[in-house]
Amino acid sequence: MQRLKWVFIGVLILCLRVPQPALSGDDPFRIGEQLRYSIYALGIKVGYQTLEFSTAGELNNSEVYILKGLSKSAGFLSIFYRLNDNWTIFMEKDSFLPLRVEKDWQEGRDEGYYRYEIDQQSRKVTLYNVSGGTVKSIDSKNSVFDLFSLVYYYRKNTEAFNDVFTFDFLEARSVQTVHFQNEGTVRVTVPRISERRSIRAQKLQQIGGVGIEIYMADDNLKLPLKIVAPSKLPKGKVLDIIFYLDRYYPGEGTSIEDIPRVYIPIMR
């Protein structure tokens, strides 16, 4: 059975070896790549997050890549607090800067549909509250990213994080200037990969603020292995929300030889 499992995985990935027109052969991801995360709080699984580097397209005469995501609460938790966020990010092909973010969200009893038009050159974000019928103009000081477009920007432009990387973080109705420091190589454990074996990663640490931590694999795929996103609670308390990578599906044209064997457990 073990041998058949390896054969099946090998055949599956080899079937993906089709021409990849848009990305460089040196890039760590391809069109069609899918990632899934389990989300934990206080050691309890509270939901999951999916990412799909889905396709290439065009937006306002600019060639773009499209990143899709879903954030969803676990079944039992939905009884008390429902999270169901669907979002789409349009990233400019050459710079990998986000030009538009669409978010169809449901959080607790609140829900809505927001569209953010991001003019990176003019440093301006226009928020269209489609469900509420309002428009808000937001000025930024730096390039604007949300958390997951930032992750893909890093994978494409690792050298930009050799020093402190400053950008404006896209929040629900505003932007906030933040700074991230690459703290170098660390070891991180990802439960679905191995409870005992740690993986080399680059740790990106937010300086000040809530202290977000992003652990990017220190290999050719540069997969985001773990994300710690602290959430502020009343009375000055903080709750760490932890994302662990638990599923990886390579994109088109990815060869089995390009995938470190450590990721086989999360490709099933």
Q: Measured between alpha carbons, how far is 264 from 247 in angstroms, rounded to an integer?
A: 10
Q: Is 249 exposed, middle or buried (0-12, 13-18, 19+ CB in 10 A)?
A: middle
Other C-beta atoms lying within 10 Å of the C-beta of residue 78:
14
Q: Which residue has the higher pLDDT, 22 or 140?
A: 140
pLDDT > 80? residue 80: no
The pLDDT of residue 7 is: 32
Q: Measured between alpha carbons, how far is 43 from 124 in angstroms, rounded to an integer?
A: 39
pLDDT tier at 159, thresholds 50, 70, 90: very high
pLDDT > 80? residue 78: no
Mean pLDDT of 183-191: 97
In this predicted model, what pLDDT tens digit does every residue of 206-245 receive, in sequence order?
998 889 999 999 999 999 999 999 988 888 888 999 999 9
pLDDT > 90? residue 10: no
Q: Where are the domains of the chain?
A: 2-19+28-266
In this predicted model, what pLDDT tens digit does every residue of 247-260 receive, in sequence order?
999 988 888 888 99
Other C-beta atoms lying within 10 Å of the C-beta of residue 90:
21
pLDDT > 50? residue 48: yes
pLDDT > 90? residue 53: yes
Q: What share of the chain is helix, strand, coil (3-state, %, to 5)?
A: 15, 50, 35
Instruction: Output the CA–CA distances (angstroms, integers) from residue 108 to 84, 127, 242, in the order listed.
Output: 9, 22, 20
**Gyration radius of the chain over CA positions:** 19
Regarding pTM above 0.75, the answer is: yes
In this predicted model, what pLDDT tens digit does every residue of 165-179 receive, in sequence order?
999 999 999 999 999
